[in-house]
Structure 1
């Protein structure tokens, strides 16, 4: 697990990510966009690895460049996947490891889990939004995937959703009201419990855990994109 942070004197939490090789970190494309100026990563962009605390000061890595999916659509939030390239290859250890990627189709009711340092909640009912702090320690939630039909129907009735599910490109999960993705969890890996392999990347939700599904990029739809990077870059 990787915490994507930025800032010269004070680090700010941005998103999560996963180590998919000693040179590559997988995350959501919308997590990379705010870290880019004039086509290049902001100099203070960093990744915290090997720790369950995003504020940790050891094992902080730098990135040289990035590659978002060529069909990334920031308006529709589709193809929301990108890779950050490390300046130096990681040294693997008991605390720093590479996650396996699953390109198999994942249907509904599959036991999974997601980890992240996202905000611990938010109150969006008032005129002034109240955002709870980011989690200091890495959080983990066990959940199950939803069938494409069930997720599509649930999102269709969500007030103000505005974004339609594309089941060929996206996977959904749901736990319960008050338990799910929040700001800062984007880019985090969805792991299939039976195999320990990553099947999705946290993309979007109706924050925070308001009783509707959370949506992830479906890795099975991006096999060519990811293997091309891993094999050729």
Structure 2
């Protein structure tokens, strides 16, 4: 598959409002004019919904190891991520809420900018089928305290319907391993092309297959959002979240969990924990 080496992105993408509105403020971007090339550093706090997730897992020998993942803000009290980010693959046990930390407004994980905000988790919801079959790779985190939204912290838009993204570019961001095999201290962004699931071995009907070259997503990007710029709102809506890719981070398709397939599951758990919390969608 031929994928462009670079994508030109308007400085107005996600900045100015589109002709249609959303039920609440969501999916905006903070940026300067830029030419976007695969795997480049984002502007600081460019994507207000982006979350860095730190989870401690206890190994069979008793050692505690921290794993990091991505995630996305979807309400004032809830964050989406992948189930495998909060389930110990050695014991198949869900992480205790106290072992999970949500960090917002993070850009460079190697230093403190003073803008970062950390939140504790009250409840960890993992899809029931993940624990049984290692499928349905999605988890919802209910936070102890409300997120304080501002210009650099806020939710991504979340739509109940499947989005028209096959054969289109969508955006991915994360702190995952780069082609050199090392994790990135700074948040990176890239474009990925959605391909038909029939061209992607192992993808199910509730997943999305994307292709990026060079630089496939790797473990550090797990749970992070793939987003689409809705031309009607000029706001970013989350299409899916990263589930799995090539274990050696080669240029091969990446499989992600489609949000629309689990929208009802997400909303049910939001209402269960905080009836006043709402996702933002197009009016």
Which TM-score band applies after superposition, normalised by the shorter structure?
Answer: 0.7 to 0.9
Q: Pick closer, same or farther for the CA change 1:145–1:51 going to 2, 3 Å.
A: same
Alignment RMSD:
2.5
The CA deviation at 1:96 is: 0.5
Q: Which residue of 2 aligns with 1:221?
A: 261
Q: Which residue of 2 aligns with 1:172?
A: 209
Q: Which residue, out of 194, 197, 202, partners 1:145? A: 194
The CA deviation at 1:39 is: 5.5
Q: Which residue, out of 24, 27, 31, partners 2:78? A: 24
Normalising by the residue count of structure 1, what TM-score does the alignment of the two structures yield? Answer: 0.80
The CA deviation at 1:186 is: 0.6
Q: Deviations over 1:36-92 (max 9, x none)?
A: 9976516342111012123555311111221111221575x4100011111111000
Partners of 1:180 and 1:37 lie apart in 2 by 27
Normalising by the residue count of structure 2, what TM-score does the alignment of the two structures yield? Answer: 0.66
Q: Deviations over 1:192-211 (max 9, x none)?
A: 12351001010011134423
The answer as to whether partners of 2:55 and 2:68 remain within 8 angstroms in 1 is: yes
The answer as to whether partners of 2:195 and 2:211 remain within 8 angstroms in 1 is: yes
Q: Which residue, out of 83, 93, 100, partners 1:45? A: 100
Q: Which residue of 1 aligns with 2:137?
A: 80
Unaligned runs of 5+ residues in structure 2 are: 1-49, 57-64, 274-283
Unaligned runs of 5+ residues in structure 1 are: 123-131, 156-163
Q: How many residues align?
A: 208
The structure showing larger relative contact order (alpha-carbon pairs under 8 Å, at least 6 residues apart) is 2
Q: Which residue of 1 aligns with 2:228?
A: 192
